[in-house]
Amino acid sequence: MKETSKSKQFWGPTEEDATQGHGIDIGCGPDPVRADAIRFDRENGDANRITDFVHQEFDYVYSSHCLEHMDDPRQAILEWWKLVKPGGHLFVVVPDEDLYEQGAFPSRFGPEHKATFTISKAKSWSSHSINVFDLARSLPGGEIVSLELQDRNYDLSLMSHGALQPGWLVRLAAKFRTVLCLLISSDERKGLARWFSGFYPVDQTNSAASAQAQIQLIVRKGRT
């Protein structure tokens, strides 16, 4: 799923302003934020230690659904912050732990994820939870421009909180559901989805509804 392209459908002046100038997109794959952005992915080096491979500053540093793959997201984002020019922006999007992981870690839909994220909680169900607000405040000289939960097209009635089934079984059942949905009507699909969610969590971000289950953070670096 091209998460950046999905998000850009809903962008406004804040997001457009934060991605102007010379930028780098970390972990973009085939879906860069801008056609002229520098692309940094696995073949270019280790994003956990990005300053070992990139030796310049940018007007913006963008990364969508990559920080959760880092060995230590708190340390990685500090590395990414070093690439931002004074007056520039760090623009990061991560999955929301309640909407995406839905109470289970390791993640059933992203088993390679190293952490979960929430905007701000005193206590989380996840042993690897990170408050994005605290993450933003850890960036020296940073000013929060945007910090928001994005849940467009997300159907809360389909949520299944907790470790109801192991990840491999959830993914297998989801494939079965996808095939079955091709054979039934639209109304029947809605009913099936609700019945299905009572037993197997649904990854709505990877469905035809193209739901969002994410947190957007934009931080501006102060000028010295």
Q: 26: pLDDT confidence band, cut at 50, 70 and 90?
A: very high
Overall average pLDDT of the 169-182 stretch: 59
The CA–CA distances, whole Å, from 11 to 5, 6, 14, 15, 211 equal: 10, 10, 8, 6, 15
What is the reported pLDDT for 199? Answer: 53
Instruction: Please state, in angstroms and rounded to a whole number, the distance separating the CA atoms of residues 130 and 65.
Output: 14
- Angle between helical axes of 167-181 and 186-197 (0-180°, round to 10): 170
Closest CA to 6 of 204, 203, 211, 155: 211
Mean pLDDT of 149-168: 76
Tell which residue, 60, 17, 54, has the closest CA to residue 36: 60
What is the phi-psi region of residue 69: left when phi exceeds 0, alpha when psi lies from -120 to 50, beta otherwise? alpha
Selected from 3.60.20.10, 3.10.20.30, 3.40.50.150, 3.40.50.300, the CATH number assigned to the domain covering 3-155+209-221 reads: 3.40.50.150
The predicted structure's pLDDT at residue 155? 86
Structure tokens at 176: 């079965």
- Confidence class of residue 73 from pLDDT cuts 50, 70 and 90? very high
Based on its alpha-carbon atoms, the radius of gyration of the chain, rounded to whole angstroms, reads: 18
C-alpha–C-alpha distance, residues 25 and 63, integer Å = 6
* Cis bond upstream, residue 106 (ω within 30): yes
pLDDT (0 to 100) of residue 61: 98
pLDDT confidence of residue 206: 81
User: Residue ranges of the domains in the chain?
Assistant: 3-155+209-221
One-letter amino acid for residue 222 of the chain: G
- CB distance 144 to 203 below 8 Å: no
Which run of H or of E encompasses 58?
A: strand 58-64
Check whether 85 has a pLDDT greater than 90: yes
Output the CA–CA distances (angstroms, integers) from residue 204 to 55, 154, 158, 172, 193, in the order listed. Answer: 38, 7, 8, 15, 10
Contact 33, 19 (CB under 8 A): yes
